[in-house]
Amino acid sequence: MLSERQQQIIEESINIIDEKGIQGLTIKNLSKAIGISEPGIYRHFESKTEILLSILNNFKEMAGMLSGMMKDFEGTAIEKIEFIFSRMLDLFSETPSMLSVIFSEEIFKN
């Protein structure tokens, strides 16, 4: 389970990637955005790689949650497709910066 500060670091990391791309996600930029020192970031995550892995784990958990919702949903194939897309639309509407991270070409290149 992530601490409140770790969740804040992940959320701000996603925002930075959204605004500046994956190359803009540095510990220096992250610490400035959150308002803590660079060593403060390292108290919660060992490295930038660990932060990125946590972001990916969050996406994996969300996908698992959506999958679980689909198993419990009873309806036709079309209704299931509509259900999953509406849940994804809700999720992306709440946190549009996630779209930039998920579909970022830079992530796949680097």
Domains of the chain, earliest start first: 4-109 (1.10.357.10)
- Contacts made by residues 14-21, CB under 8 angstroms, sequence distance 24+: 14/55, 14/95, 14/97, 14/98, 14/101, 15/97, 17/97, 17/100, 17/101, 17/104, 18/96, 18/97, 18/100, 18/101, 19/97, 21/104, 21/106
pLDDT in tens, 41-97: 999 999 999 999 999 898 888 888 888 888 888 888 899 889 888 988 888 888 888
pLDDT in tens, 37-55: 999 999 999 999 999 999 9
What pTM was computed for the model?
A: 0.76
* Residue 110: pLDDT over 80: no
The pLDDT-based confidence of 33 (bands split at 50, 70, 90) is very high
The pLDDT-based confidence of 107 (bands split at 50, 70, 90) is low
